[in-house]
Amino acid sequence: MPDSAVIPPVAAKIPLRRLHHGDAVIDDYEWLRDKDYPEVIAHLTAENAYTEARNAHLEPLRQAIFDEIKSRTKETDLSVPVREGGWWYYSRSFEGKQYGASCRAPIAAADDWTPPSLADVAADEPALPGEQVLFDSNVEAAGSDFFSLGSFDVSEDDRLLLYGVDVEGDERYTLRIRDLATGKDLRDEIPGTAAGAFFTPDSRHVVYLTVDDAWRPDTMWRHEVGTPADQDAEVFTEPDERFWLDVGLTRSKRYLVVSAGSKITSEEWLIDAADPASEPHLVWPREDGVEYELTHAVVKGEDRLLILHNKGALNFELVDVPADNPQAEPRVILRHDPAVRLEGISAFRDRIVVEYRRDGLSRLGIIELDADSGYGELREIAFDEPLYAVHADSNPEWAQPTIRLGFGSMVTPSTVYDYSPTTGALTLLKQQPVLDYDPAHYEQRREWATAGDGTRIPISLVYRRDLVVPGTPAALELYGYGAYESSTDPYFSVPRLSLLDRGVVFAIAHVRGGGELGRQWYEDGKLLAKKNTFTDFIACVRHLVDAGWTAPDRLVAEGGSAGGLLMGAVANLAPELFAGILAGVPFVDALTSILDPDLPLSVVEWDEWGDPLHDPAAYAYMKSYSPYENVRPGVKYPPILAVTSLNDTRVLYVEPAKWVVRLHELGQDAELKIEMVAGHGGVSGRYNAWKERAFELAWLLDRLRLAD
């Protein structure tokens, strides 16, 4: 167990008075927000030293877990090639190297749609004849403590590579263009961009977004290759601080789609991709509370827009309209179904792929396009596992005859298939290699907890058959998120095997606020219903204890970002139910952040959490659950580990820093681990990430009394 003789650092108290809606609050630790202040860095460094000292006894276990992750990973490997134009594109990884390389090789023939089978090859050998290494991140990352690619695109004429790099972790990328014939970068350089830039189909222009001071993508630009960035054309600016901009290209390459979206409202414009300098034209004007997304299809020879929307359709419905008259009366393709949440659409020359959710699981369906009748019936692709996740994978080609999809479960590693719509056959292309792993040794199942209001909450579990007997209490980790309608679907994890193989049950609480059971599931866990997320998680804990899966002294909890808020809230509400809590980049000072419209992302979050700056009811409600505001004196908390990054722009490091200081002040067992050069996703590089995860898993096992 941790060394109790190590003394936590003590932060100075510098009172700051905050007054809203007649409520005065004194915050002694808000001064920790200024990371340019030397005393702040000194304090964070001391917190790191304290955490390292307390966990020094776990170094052998951390190394053992790291070695287990590494030994189960095929370090020199290749992805399944994806055809785009006249090339197969794929990525490679290499033993001993942190990052991968992006490659391509020419297709054998125009009708060649079957990806080549990639045999094992040495790291210094080409994987396919004619292989070109487009971008080796190991080379590009040399000398940087952090490295992340936010944009990556090859021009339509195959001559140029566009890439965007972040070396701080703040998600601001510098764009550059490389001549693939010479391997040299052009003079073009555009700093401070958002992720997702791309070439227009003419290969002459780059479309990109920049962010405002609150890190909100707000402006779309068009850059002409070979010209200075200060001559770039400002195409579109979104002035409403609640809305983010996004821009993409339809698979048909017919339109650029400019999207402005808040948490509850969206609006989209089209630009003729053949004339990227032309004016955008509006599809549907924004209407408060109405969300929609579109893509282009050709139906019976006519350009149509497929629109997925929620106007009068809580779980969304699919309609189409003429591309040249989008505000005409829509034609319904898939009607609203209260049991089915439509989530996404992809249009191809001959068919439409629909992603949706039913009974808590993701689904994929195909609608064939017929030259005579137009739209066929939706045909679902079936899978035989009780719990799984499926999604449309990389499918860039308009006329491709197969659909690439990704599949996995809590016992099945990530798997790539090609699906033939004409035969209904699934062709296995690759399954993530996991060395020394036998899925027959593991079991996954679903349980249902009952919340205080009678709502049934799904729980997904996985464990080793030979180490866990259902009904006999075992060590258990319960994970939760529950926000933004983001679904935590059953997924496979190599690091998780280091828990399962030590007899730990892993479980996911699919609490309200997520999207697992449709839009209403999300609505019932946001704004003034947010506390349902927290009480659902506690109901899941009680169910797992009552059903004999575990006991409070053998249960740890984990969540990150908004799931970190969940961790802080349940620690306040029911600290006696947990042996330990791991909170990653936790949103634990939510009220302070959302009150300040100048902070990154605060205004855009008002539709998710409420607007406490202007609404007294939202202020009072958020104050009643925000973890930092509600740490309880005189109550014994479980051990808490908060993990964060100094350059995180989504959840600022100061939130967990203040929370841990407050817990220390009250004599609680709390630790802060902060990466000094990283962002919201943590460290970069796979070996670094494995070391970080090994640290966290060792900490969890120690709290479960399994460190030995």
Beta carbons within 10 angstroms of residue 246's beta carbon: 17
CA-to-CA distance for 262 and 164, rounded, in angstroms? 25
pLDDT tier at 630 (50, 70, 90 boundaries)? Answer: very high
Instruction: Note whether 202 and 156 are within 8 A (CB).
Output: yes
Q: Which residue has the higher pLDDT, 117 or 105?
A: 105
List the helix and strand counts (H, then E) for the chain: 12, 40
- pLDDT score recorded for residue 127: 83
Average pLDDT estimate for 198-203: 98
**361, pLDDT greater than 70:** yes
Q: Which helix (H) or strand (E) holds 149?
A: strand 148-154
Which of 6-10, 118-122, 527-531, 562-566 is the least confident region?
A: 118-122
pLDDT in tens, 488-524: 999 999 999 999 999 999 999 999 999 999 999 999 9
- pLDDT score recorded for residue 488: 98
pLDDT in tens, 240-267: 999 999 999 999 999 999 999 999 999 9
CA-to-CA distance for 427 and 223, rounded, in angstroms? 41
Report the predicted TM-score, pTM, of the whole model to 2 decimal places: 0.96
CA-to-CA distance for 524 and 487, rounded, in angstroms? 14
Show the 3-state SS of 361-415: EEEEEEEEEECCCEECCCEECCCCCCCCEEEECCCCCCCCCCEEEEEECCCCCCE
> Which residues does the annotation mark as catalytic?
561, 648, 680
- pLDDT score recorded for residue 119: 67
Residue type, 93: S
- pLDDT score recorded for residue 650: 85
Instruction: Note whether 54 and 3 are within 8 A (CB).
Output: yes
Tokens found for residue 428: 């296995």
**117, pLDDT greater than 90:** no
**618, pLDDT greater than 70:** yes
**585, pLDDT greater than 90:** yes
Tokens found for residue 695: 């640290």
Residues whose CB falls within 8 Å of the CB of residue 605, separated by 6 or more in sequence, listed in order: 263, 594
pLDDT tier at 598 (50, 70, 90 boundaries)? Answer: confident
- pLDDT score recorded for residue 688: 94
- pLDDT score recorded for residue 120: 66
**299, pLDDT greater than 90:** yes
CA-to-CA distance for 506 and 462, rounded, in angstroms? 5
Percent residues over pLDDT 90 in the chain: 93
- pLDDT score recorded for residue 683: 86
**680, pLDDT greater than 90:** no
First-to-last alpha carbon distance for the chain, in angstroms, is 10
pLDDT tier at 116 (50, 70, 90 boundaries)? Answer: confident
DSSP states along 446-497? EEEEE-TTS-EEEEEEEEETTT--TTS---EEEEE---TT--------TTTH
- pLDDT score recorded for residue 682: 84
pLDDT tier at 362 (50, 70, 90 boundaries)? Answer: very high
- pLDDT score recorded for residue 1: 67
Average pLDDT estimate for 198-224: 96
- Three-state DSSP class for residue 421: coil
pLDDT in tens, 531-572: 999 999 999 999 999 999 999 999 999 999 999 999 999 999
Enumerate the β-bridge partners of residue 189: 176
**If you average pLDDT over every residue of the chain, what do you get?**
96
- pLDDT score recorded for residue 125: 81
The half-sphere exposure of 373 on its side-chain side, counting CA atoms within 13 A, is: 7
Instruction: Note whether 410 and 462 are within 8 A (CB).
Output: yes
Average pLDDT estimate for 151-171: 96
